[in-house]
Structure 1
Amino acid sequence: MEPDLFTAAAEERQEKDPAGSPLAVRMRPRTLDEVVGQQHLLKPGSPLRRLVGESGGPAGPSSVILWGPPGTGKTTLAYVVSKATNKRFVELSAITAGVKEVRAVIEGARRATGGYGKETVLFLDEIHRFSKAQQDSLLPAVENRWVTLIAATTENPYFSVISPLLSRSLLLTLEPLTDDDVRGLLRRALSDERGLKGSVGLPEDTEEHLLRIAGGDARRALTALEAAAGAALDQDESEISLQTLEQTVDRAAVKYDRDGDQHYDVASALIKSIRGSDVDAALHYLARMIEAGEDPRFIARRLMISASEDIGLADPNALPIAVAAAQAVAMIGFPEAALTLSHATIALALAPKSNSATTAIGAAMDDVRKGMAGPVPPHLRDGHYKGAAKLGHAQGYVYPHDLTEGIAEQQYAPDALKDREYYTPTRHGAEARYADAVEWTRQHLGRKRS
């Protein structure tokens, strides 16, 4: 039996009895115009609209790869394409399916096309979990247009999808849904005939908590709304109270206004806890930000700043860890991004601390602002142009690599700053070796002690 028969039967039941389907299914867009977010993909004449035949141009490739974080509408777009083009919709997950299941769907698609002229959209979720050999099995179907393949991935397809398949596909990048996107979807679900039909209201504080719970995931938002609405109606409530929502989803509403004092206070407390090496307090504030629905990219940016501001050369690995965390967060999103942020927060909190990089650049910039600059010493000026030698530029410059110790006793700073010292290293962690190095180099540069 083909694996898509179950999907087809389920869709038929949902169309006949939509009230018995989950809210997220009932509110699934039927056209591209009903899709929430992704406006950069939905402009008139876009490749996606050509794919569904809304443009007079060619339909384009029969394979599409949707790349984006969870909950951004990859399955929805595949479903809309199938409906708009009147094609069968078959869904497989690379987590549970293998080559056998793929071949069965492809064979079923060929029979459907030849038997009653019904083409097939094959939606393959999490294609990055397929091996190279498994992805290779899709190529004949794509090349011969036996199916319209729509593959979804949360990982960079240039690393996770084989080149032959990628080159034959239209790559569409999906952006995370904004709070306004999800808010619009919730309000539509409350009033729409396919949704809750105005049976219950949603106060502002409850809506805000729903948005935090959703974390930009439309399906999660609708699932939580449906559960809370059911609980409210069971209790004869005309509105979904915050208490009802908290009880239904088992998530307390964190007092945290992303545009107000709480946002800055908790972010400040996180950084100061890292600076103070209190890993447990830092994790507490990180958890509050995550539970409140804070943008993970904002948290990652703060960690990168802390790595240079408070740790610096005491642990040179701190900044690479923070940067790697920011890159990972941008690729995976919540909820998994919480693990990455925890990893980085713990590493930074337990690292030896030094603010020498912060104070050094601060002192140097302060002098510049005071006008303490002066001309560049002649021997350091550019000497590559004709006439530079006549001006004395680059004359007398000593090339350090020509010397045994690799350091030349010559003046580098302008005259007004030749004895100024900005960098004052600590002896915390790895910076101890920098402290020894700066003392040695200053001596060999012939610098006077300030």
Structure 2
Amino acid sequence: MEPDLFTAAAEDRQEKDPSSSPLAVRMRPRILDEVVGQQHLLKPGSPLRRLVEGSGGPAGASSVILWGPPGTGKTTLAYVVSKATNKRFVELSAITAGVKEVRAVIESARRATGGFGKETVLFLDEIHRFSKAQQDSLLPAVENRWVTLIAATTENPYFSIISPLLSRSLLLTLESLTDDDLRDLLRRALTDERGLGGALTLPEDAEAHLLRIAGGDARRALTALEAAAGAALATHEAEITLETVEATVDRAAVKYDRDGDQHYDVASALIKSIRGSDVDAALHYLARMIEAGEDPRFIARRLMISASEDIGLADPTALPTAVAAAQAVAMIGFPEAALTLSHATIALALAPKSNAATLAISAAQEDVRKGLAGPVPAHLRDGHYKGAAKLGHAQGYVYPHDVQGGIAAQQYAPDAVRDRLYYTPTRHGAEARYADVVERVRERLGRTPQGADPS
């Protein structure tokens, strides 16, 4: 298997006929100074600069891990490193490749190094999709420097990448591209000979809409620009109008400032519409956020909060639904993620509502802040160590599973809050069952409200 041959062939075709490649590929930076954004990684003397300029990266680092959101330039940086260091560039995706493909690339790299003296950059996208065993297969190549591994991930590498690989890597955190970054990129693509070569102009309103569509993703911005430019050129227009952009991307220009008040206003309206059970209004605000290029993960996080804050045990399936939606969104992204977000929004809007869980933890936290804590009752303390019995710890504890009904009538709360009742369930939806249960349990435990007569 020789994936680098395909890469080389593609580069050869691009050099002979640049117009045959997508605009995002044609505008791919060739040197670090052409990279848009990520200035914290590109400043003089930075580890990435030293690596590319051959002055040496951090001691012990034989690979690079790029961590950041989609569309921030992870593939681009890997490509620039390979070009700047005159190394073969091989790209694999952990979604489609396995250990077999990785080993084939490593073996190819060893042959290239020995036979032609040409070192290899292996760019592995979505490395967090690899299992621990699959990541282990990379270690010999990294340790022996058979390849320069550049791995990209959108997940926290401290959770998703094995420690031996992290310890041998230079970890670079990429930041989301700003509108200013994308604006520079669009304007460069309009004038650069590799791009549109000045054939078209882009008025401010059309440019603003392209930025909204992009949602911080450089590849998405250039793809939308290319589609709009193709439509304009086909009708012999001199500029790419807002109407042309709207028509080619099949969406209206949404008046929505992702960094200003409207960002928070629309997000607030979405949650309040769900809380108010107005499913149609909730879908309207969801659509506005999607069309404005909002990060789907932000929307999913809001839905998870709403599931606990406003629904709770009135519908115990609400939170699992929201969590599943967040996981699906992280895996599939837009445009399909809109379906998942719609699914979750409808489920939450139509669910019975209860804020009992919210009020319960707020009341408990307030008591703790006031100093109502006190020592843990002796019979509840840890008894799994030598000498615990002499201290009276865990003595007299009644194991609930040994009691008929599974409820042992003993004190659990510290004396200071012994009679404090935090959870007040509603009679909405499934929580009605919990209301009956908690009443019976409290009676069995002898729990009475503060000031009430326990007898």
Q: TM-score range by the shorter chain?
A: 0.7 to 0.9
2:421, 2:448 within 8 Å by CA — same for their partners in 1? no
Q: By how many angstroms is 1:117 displaced?
A: 2.4
1:64-119 CA deviation, whole Å, 9 max, x = no partner? Answer: 23233322212101101001111121223334444454344333323332333221
Question: Distance in 2 between the 1:421 and 1:92 partners?
Answer: 57
Residues 308 and 104 of structure 1: CA distance in aligned 2, closer, same or farther (over 3 Å): closer
SS in 2 for 1:52: helix
Which residue identity is paired with 1:27?
M
Partner of 2:390: none
Question: Is 1:197 aligned to residue 193 of structure 2?
Answer: no
1:401, 1:407 within 8 Å by CA — same for their partners in 2? no
Residues 376 and 234 of structure 1: CA distance in aligned 2, closer, same or farther (over 3 Å): closer
Q: By how many angstroms is 1:8 displaced?
A: 0.8
Residues 404 and 21 of structure 1: CA distance in aligned 2, closer, same or farther (over 3 Å): closer
Number of aligned residue pairs: 425
Question: Distance in 1 between the 2:195 and 2:211 partners?
Answer: 18
2:421, 2:449 within 8 Å by CA — same for their partners in 1? no
Partner of 2:389: none
Matches within 5 A, 1:355-374: 355-356=355-356
Q: By how many angstroms is 1:341 displaced?
A: 3.3
2:135, 2:162 within 8 Å by CA — same for their partners in 1? yes
Q: By how many angstroms is 1:311 displaced?
A: 1.9
Q: Give me the TM-score of the superposition, normalised by structure 1.
A: 0.76
Q: Percent identity?
A: 83
Residues 27 and 444 of structure 1: CA distance in aligned 2, closer, same or farther (over 3 Å): closer
Residues 334 and 42 of structure 1: CA distance in aligned 2, closer, same or farther (over 3 Å): farther
2:4, 2:88 within 8 Å by CA — same for their partners in 1? no
Partner of 2:31: 31
Residues 33 and 401 of structure 1: CA distance in aligned 2, closer, same or farther (over 3 Å): farther
1:42, 1:49 within 8 Å by CA — same for their partners in 2? yes
Which residue identity is paired with 1:405?
A
Q: By how many angstroms is 1:246 displaced?
A: 2.1
Partner of 1:445: 448
Question: Distance in 1 between the 2:149 and 2:426 partners?
Answer: 58
Q: By how many angstroms is 1:130 displaced?
A: 4.3
Matches within 5 A, 1:245-324: 245-258=245-258, 263=263, 266-279=266-279, 281-315=281-315, 318=318, 322=322
Partner of 2:41: 41
Between 422-431 and 209-218, report the one with greater CA deviation: 422-431
Question: Is 1:232 aligned to residue 232 of structure 2?
Answer: yes
CA RMSD in angstroms, aligned pairs only: 4.3
Question: Distance in 2 between the 1:447 and 1:162 partners?
Answer: 52
Q: By how many angstroms is 1:42 displaced?
A: 2.8
Q: Which runs of 5+ in 1 are unaligned?
A: 369-374, 384-399
Question: Distance in 1 between the 2:59 and 2:169 partners?
Answer: 12
1:158-213 CA deviation, whole Å, 9 max, x = no partner? Answer: 55545544443333333333333222211221222332232212122212221232
Partner of 1:222: 222
Please point out which of 405, 410, 418 is paired with 2:409: 405
1:3, 1:101 within 8 Å by CA — same for their partners in 2? no
Question: Distance in 2 between the 1:7 and 1:408 partners?
Answer: 66
SS in 1 for 2:253: coil
Question: Distance in 2 between the 1:434 and 1:241 partners?
Answer: 59
Question: Distance in 2 between the 1:262 and 1:446 partners?
Answer: 45
2:375, 2:414 within 8 Å by CA — same for their partners in 1? no
Q: By how many angstroms is 1:291 displaced?
A: 1.9
Question: Distance in 1 between the 2:59 and 2:26 partners?
Answer: 29
Q: Which runs of 5+ in 2 are unaligned?
A: 377-395, 399-406
Question: Distance in 1 between the 2:450 and 2:190 partners?
Answer: 74
Matches within 5 A, 1:361-400: none
Q: Give me the TM-score of the superposition, normalised by structure 2.
A: 0.75
Question: Distance in 2 between the 1:127 and 1:408 partners?
Answer: 47
1:387-425 CA deviation, whole Å, 9 max, x = no partner? Answer: xxxxxxxxxxxxx98996345999968xxxx9x999764
1:208-229 CA deviation, whole Å, 9 max, x = no partner? Answer: 2212322222112112111211
Q: By how many angstroms is 1:126 displaced?
A: 2.9
Question: Is 1:353 aligned to residue 357 of structure 2?
Answer: no
Q: By how many angstroms is 1:299 displaced?
A: 2.5
Partner of 1:5: 5
Question: Distance in 2 between the 1:37 and 1:333 partners?
Answer: 22
2:182, 2:218 within 8 Å by CA — same for their partners in 1? yes
